[in-house]
Amino acid sequence: MQEYLNKIIEDNKKYIEYGALPEYIPELVKANKDALGMSVVSLDGKEYHAGDYQYKFTIQSISKVISLLLALEEKGEEYVFNRVGMEPTGDPFNSMIKLETVRPSKPFNPMINAGAIAISSMIEGRSSMGKVEKLLAFFRQITDNPDLTINENVYLSEKRTGDRNRALAYFMKDVGVIEKDVEGSLDVYFKQCSIEVTTRDIARIGAFLANNGVDLITGKSLVREKYIKIAKTFMFTCGMYNASGEFAINVGIPAKSGVGGGILATVPGQMGIGIVGPSLDEKGNSIAGVQMIRDFSEKYKLSIL
């Protein structure tokens, strides 16, 4: 596998030039557009890495998977899904059209920005800082990386430029989806998106999901299996923004992307996959990363379909 990972990096570097960095978050424009890396973590503990796998990037929307799991554990399915739906939208991840035009007025799913902000508002804690510390501790446990931290510059950049997210949040406050302090909920969301990771970190998250919520090191179940199945279903149907259907057909495994260039993928019962490639396509997905994971899935026949 190591030899193939090295090959897959080299074969797909050519796609980088056709993508772009996300200019609407100024700090992300400082990323290395040419970075490309991949990690694979199997359930028996084996790890494989290639390319710029040590390159640090912010997790962005990949964090939505973990915040959903935490909210489900704390609040339960009924509470969560009374406020956030279960359906794909086909709209851009930051759209607010359906919030205004569809009744009841709630986000279609937890993988779009509106849904993720609503989920962040559900996490229990006396302060936004307490909620962030709880989320960060959960990430550190799942990734087996006690050094995970928040990139302060990216957080501040997102906070300064996040007016569309504020509009979504205040609209949801008006219609009762968000019950708590809007600015505090947004702060949790901006900070969780700004957690700095490597491909190894997100591959370990993928392996945790592949192992049905059981920690690979301790053997302890951290999340109920039914909630893991819910998260993986959302990843499969909504995880690659409004390219999710095409990805499901071409790759066939649950995945979640982020505009930091990361892609988290999980192969149930087998492995977790982490990819970074900051050069994005028009949908917001890593342009070379999508090609890499497509090639990888075809090579090892990973599609669950």
CB 211 within 8 A of CB 42: no
Catalytic residue numbers read 61, 64, 189, 241, 259
- pLDDT for 180 equals 82
- pLDDT for 92 equals 67
CB 54 within 8 A of CB 198: yes
Rounded Cα gap, residues 153 and 244, in angstroms: 30
Per-residue pLDDT of 138-194, as tens digits, reads: 999 999 999 999 999 999 999 999 999 999 999 999 999 998 899 999 999 999 999
Mean pLDDT of 207-217: 97
> Mind spelling out the 3-state secondary structure of 140-162?
HHHHCCCCCEECHHHHHHHHHHC
Rounded Cα gap, residues 222 and 142, in angstroms: 9
pTM: 0.95
Least confident of 57-71, 77-91, 273-287: 77-91
Rounded Cα gap, residues 190 and 176, in angstroms: 21
Per-residue pLDDT of 242-281, as tens digits, reads: 899 999 999 999 999 999 999 999 999 999 999 999 999 9
Domains and CATH numbers, the chain: 2-57+198-300 (3.40.710.10), 61-193 (3.40.710.10)
Mean pLDDT of 219-234: 97
Mean pLDDT of 108-115: 93
Quickly state the pLDDT bin for 104 (edges 50, 70, 90): confident
